[in-house]
Amino acid sequence: MAVKNIEDLEKKTKVKFKNLDLLRTAVTHRSYLNENRSYKLDHNERLEFFGDAVLELVVTEHLYQNFPNPEGELTNWRAALVNKDMLSNVSRGLRVENFLLMSRGEAKDTGRARDYLLANALEAIIGAVYLDKGYGAAKKFISESVLIHLDEVIKSKLYIDPKSNFQEEAQARVGITPNYRVLSESGPDHDKKFIVGVYLEDEEVAQGEGVSKQQAQREAARNALEVKDW
């Protein structure tokens, strides 16, 4: 893979790094080192480990200081903000995918596998920001990239599993328990794609797609909530 101009990613983070090698390391997957033995830097797993802890602390601090809600609610909100789905979406918004250094094989992976790479890279970037600029800079970066989604998490109830949410709404509103059916299954074992429909009795409400049946069911439930405006 061609090495992208890391300064372009630096601009997207809005952090002026003293040591750009930290940012380069943050987007270096372990597999890249296997194909590029002369590469001078490490892979991003240690930075990811560090950034994960910083992210959780910043989010926890923000929730504790700004919301008087019970622990259980705060825990659910935090989980929705720091899970792989949210972090991979944030990572895509920063165009981190354009800067990932990985093997040719990893570069072909899509779907859930790519989401994990992107989420892990974002955590590594957070670790890099902290090590380069300190807690304040990391907090600012997390606030502007992750915590800005908190209102959406609360308003759209993203902290509740969409299957549970749709089931509760369906039972309360129409007295029916949803059922799910696999409509199609395609792709090789390492890159499956499932399309699942969610039904209220025989009425198909919505469909969802995923790399597992469970993910496709969650997407179907999420889409059904939008279709029904529940």
Catalytic positions: 52, 123
- What residues have CB less than 8 Å from 48, skipping those under 6 apart? 120, 121, 123, 124, 127
Spatial separation of the C-alpha atoms in residues 22 and 15, rounded to whole Å: 12
Distance of CA 205 to the CA centre of its chain: 26
- Per the CB < 8 A criterion, the answer to whether 63 and 78 are in contact is yes
Spatial separation of the C-alpha atoms in residues 210 and 197, rounded to whole Å: 12
- Per the CB < 8 A criterion, the answer to whether 26 and 128 are in contact is yes
Burial class (CB in 10 A: 0-12, 13-18, 19+), 118: buried
Spatial separation of the C-alpha atoms in residues 90 and 77, rounded to whole Å: 16
